Every structure is written in C-alpha cells, then in structure tokens.
Amino acid sequence: MRKRTAALAALIPALLSTMTGLAPAHSAPRAPAAVITLTYDADAAGPWADSVKQAVQNWNDAVHNVRLEPASTPGSADYVYEATSGWPQTTLGPIFPGGGGDVQLGQQAVDEGYDAIRITAHETGHILGLPDDYSGPCSELMSGHGPGTSCTNAKPDAAEAAQVDSNYAAGVAAPHRQRHQVVVDIWSGRILTGSH
C-alpha cells in the first residue's frame, strides 16, 4: 500500500504540471466569420480616382469583416463612385453584395476647401452603414465638415471601425434589408433650403 501511495504522490505533481498549460474548454476561440467582399466601380470618379484608392485602403486597413475591392467587370459593382459638380451624397448602407449603392463625390465640397480624401472616406463610411456625426472631433471621420477645413483626417477611429465590423458580422447568409436612403452631405456652414 505504501508503494502505491508513494507512486500516486509522485504522479500528482506530474499531472498538475501538464494541466497548467491547458485552457478551459469554454474559452476555445470561435471560427472567424467569412469576410464580405464589396466591389466598387470608380471609372466615373475622374479627378477623384486617387482619393478613392486611398479612402478604400484606409477602410480596408481599419476593418476586418468587410473588404472593398474594385469590380472585375463594368456594371457588376456593388456600388459606384462618380464625380459630380454638386454636394457629396451617398446611399446609406450597410450595402451588401448586389446592393446597388452610389457615392457622388461633389466638387462643391472641395471648392469650399475640404480635403478630397477625407470626403471620399467619409462618403464610403455611409456605404458601410455609418451616419453623420457633425458634432464629433476631427479624429472621427464621420464628423465630416464639423471640425472645419483644417481637418484632413481620412481614417476611421476605433469606434467607427468597430461599428462597421458589427454591421457585417453576420455575413452574407443572414437576411439584410437593403436601404435606399440617400445622405446628402453639405460640406459648409451654410444651410440650404428647399427639397433635396
């Protein structure tokens, strides 16, 4: 009996040392959700082409559940960028594959002195489902024109990126309601009257 007790006493520390590196079964990591790819067409972006590339890169660097890529063929994009002479306006998402979103990159905002990359990244934020927050600081991309023309930040902050990741967390298999609301961004302090 003493031999068994001695053997068991020697075995217990060995068993405990092998178990200390194990994580509890309930903390096993979940499989990551499939990344949703949204395609865009920037053929009509004209002078905004470089701004589109940089804005897309800024979003792709910040988020994990959605990726923005150029469409492989004309007419197959989930959303389009186009240069216009008016104010920027965008379909409010989140846009999903097949969504038919539109980003109008309005020259009037640049004429007012706002940064083209910030405008483009801000409008892309609408495609990804983010509303305006004009009272926010310059570090918040969706503050748009709120901080004034000196603000050139074109990158989403951590909260904005987290919201976009949340918007796309369920993947494409989940049912999604396609919105057809358009956000018109007036990048100035002036208030326009009349219907838009």
Residues annotated catalytic, as ranges: 123
β-strand partners of 36 = 66
What is d(CA 73, CA 86) in angstroms, rounded to the nearest whole number?
28
Q: The tokens 């792709």 sit on which residue?
A: 60
Which helix (H) or strand (E) segment holds residue 184: the answer is strand 182-184
Neighbours of 58 (CB within 10 A): 22
CB-based contacts of 161, cutoff 8 Å, min separation 6: 62, 63
What is d(CA 72, CA 87) in angstroms, rounded to the nearest whole number?
28
